[in-house]
């Protein structure tokens, strides 16, 4: 019998990252409830970390700066290239629900952690 898939919601992760690409001014507020390690997919962690680095450097988060940051760190190809970032924008229904997406990502991370601790 295959191992069960750990709790995750990749669609919520994509929507959260896409929301920030659409409305980057929301990123700082969202960092209070989401950390890079909350993302199930490693590439999403890398994208979040790139957003964090851009913000710390007082640079705007957008498609160009994200491509540059991920390319500089050697992770652009690993995440799926510029096309993956464009895909995040296209699958995000609205940035208005970023807090809801963040709560889902955090909740799934806490459930994974609880399962990890109990095993």
Instruction: Please report, for the domain that includes residue 112, its CATH number.
Output: 1.10.860.10
Helix/strand number for the chain, H first, E second:
7, 0
Number of domains in the chain: 1
Residuewise pLDDT in 10s, the chain (119 residues): 566 789 999 999 999 999 999 999 999 999 999 999 999 999 999 999 999 999 999 999 999 999 999 999 999 999 999 999 999 999 999 999 999 999 999 999 999 999 988 87
Domain presence at residue 73: yes
Task: Give the pLDDT score at 17.
Answer: 99
CA distances to 11, 50, 114 from 72, rounded to whole Å, are: 27, 10, 35
CA distances to 28, 35, 83, 99 from 32, rounded to whole Å, are: 7, 8, 28, 11
Domain presence at residue 1: no
Domain presence at residue 66: yes
Domain presence at residue 35: yes
Domain presence at residue 69: yes
Domain that includes residue 53, residue range = 24-118
Task: Give the pLDDT score at 46.
Answer: 99
Domain presence at residue 76: yes
Task: Give the pLDDT score at 2.
Answer: 64
């Amino acid at each position: 019998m295959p191992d069960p898939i750990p709790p995750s919601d990749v669609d919520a992760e994509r929507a959260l990252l896409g929301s920030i690409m659409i409305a980057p001014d929301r990123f700082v507020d969202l960092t209070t409830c989401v950390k890079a390690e909350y993302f199930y997919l490693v590439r999403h962690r890398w994208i979040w970390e790139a957003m964090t680095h851009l913000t710390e450097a007082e640079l705007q988060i957008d498609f160009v700066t994200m491509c540059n940051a991920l390319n500089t760190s050697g992770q652009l190809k690993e995440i799926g290239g510029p096309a993956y970032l464009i895909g995040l924008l296209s699958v995000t229904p609205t940035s208005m629900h970023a807090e809801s997406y963040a709560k889902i990502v955090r909740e799934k991370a806490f459930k994974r952690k609880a399962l990890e601790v109990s095993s």
